[in-house]
A and B are shown apart, each in its own frame.
Chain A
Amino acid sequence: MSTIEVQGLRKVFRTRRGPVEAVAGIDFRVQAGEFVGYAGPNGAGKSTTVKMMSGILLPSGGRVEVCGLVPYRERKRLARRMGVVFGQRTQLWWDLPLQESFELVGHLYRVPAADRRARLRRLEEVLALGPLLEVPVRSLSLGQRMRAELAAAVLPAPEVLFLDEPTIGLDVEAKVAVREFLRELNRAEGTTVILTTHDLDDITRLCNRLIVIDHGRIVFDGTIDQLHAAYGSTRMLVVDLADPSATLVPGPGWAGAQVVRAEGHRRWVRFARDQVSAADLVAGVLAEHQVLDLSIVEPDIEDVIRRIYRGERGR
């Protein structure tokens, strides 16, 4: 059985200007242990879907099951098995020392005291929360608070974790810490994670699957590699040749690759991943030229997603 099953799910909001179909019939299944990125432009239906999956919102049609439970009907039972982090709101007790939030969460989710202490010790270590325990939540920096939110959300060892923009507003270091933690949580505990985000870096670094929603419909569902394949995205080989005047001549195994820019020692070669492998290309260049340095630039996922939003069709 899948951890999440969504079938023909719809949500229609009645507004003053008539009904608006925020989610227009979507289907997907998420298996236990998957790390799924859920992306889409503002108003695409992302948070409406997450609300229906977490029992906050009743679907207008279709079916949704999480951990084998119907969210809106078995809200409390599901709540025990699910963790939620909304990046811009706090789940912690604002005026109390952080430690008290963890204790309250432990009681709320009936985590036995011994388990709670053991788990907290690990979380405190991984998320470097030790020095913050006595600090009131209101005094934490955004990065510190986000680490604390994550710790509180996973303290009851949820089977599913819904994350909404967990890295929004964080500095680079804090982002790395949060991502590191999530990756490890998913790997070590098999927690199923649904990550809603605008930060495509989060997605490429964490998710093995990406679902893109736009205008209430799913426009892409697959791995990042499939995304690039479907949208024909290209990679770039950047080489520094020893001889700045040398011309980089396309060799026999270079199908489709082309030199798009040359500047001093440096040449930029664009190639499609399904036409030539990076290894073949590099081997070809090395066989013909003396090379000072080379690197491969992965395609910009943001660019790909922007093309999806613009309504370009995949191949």
Chain B
Amino acid sequence: MTDRKLSYGHAFREAVFQEMSANPDVFVAGEDVGAFGGVFHTFDGLQKEFGEDRVVDTPISEQAIIGLGLGAAVSGLRPIVDLMFMDFICVAMDQIVNQVAKIKYMFGGAATVPLTITTTGGAGVSASAQHSQSLEAILCHIPGLKVVYPSNAYDMKGLMTACIREDNPTVMVKHKRLFGSSTLVPEEPYTVPLGKAATVRAGTDVTVVTYGRMVTEALSAADTLAAEGIECEVIDPRTLQPFDIDTVVESVRRTNRVVIVHEAVRFGGLGAEIAAQIQEIAFDYLDAPIGRVAAPFSPVPYSPVLEQLYIPDSQRIADGIRETVARPLLGI
């Protein structure tokens, strides 16, 4: 089998298709996932292939969708349950936070939860405040959950396959503006290990940590800055919980400067945690305060003009990196 160009959305679908083919315990449930194929077409054709018993159209009932997945998972199945938009996790927060994440621990380890929750986050399509959020930090704050956020089609297929095979509850966050983006993707099933970052660009002057769609923007910023003589090392953690801090710190020890970029709001975003860990582990290696480029502390606006101001882009990322790199060393 060979590699071929595949889109982010199709890579997701292929992972689900292959795992469903390989394992009869894998099934899909969610709103519009069956006959309609999912609102982003990520489940296209699966019901036709696997039948209504394995690709289940559910009522618009987010709590019951998660409960369906949890009850089936502790009963030995390997469910994939879809929450159409990431914003909808809020509707199901009790089931996700109080039930799914904690059942194993509360039961003294006796329960196993091989559950994958899939959802779609991110702004950029004028979907406004309730269909555009980046709420990954909330999920990463909950012990018991694992959270992945692929930035490209290759990682999408590998991470989704890993999530389905994982014996812990995972949340797979897709970015709604990445569905059309393509990379080379192997035809055969493969996994990208959970908790392992990727260095997507090597550099010597500054470490840029980012994930999801912001990886594309950060790489574009890195190209711009390379022309100015600034070499960025861009690290995509791929899995947000557990977080691969080792790869980040190893890079920081060489570059001595860090900028963290995310589409989520700055306050209490993952950047805060990543920055805290870096300074705890590698304070003496830092030549400048850790920079952050993130969304402002507001809901996501509807207006395309305002939304463009809201979402970090390559230019703002480049500005943030320039600022961090320009900071002089003092008192030495």
Are A and B co-members of a single complex? no
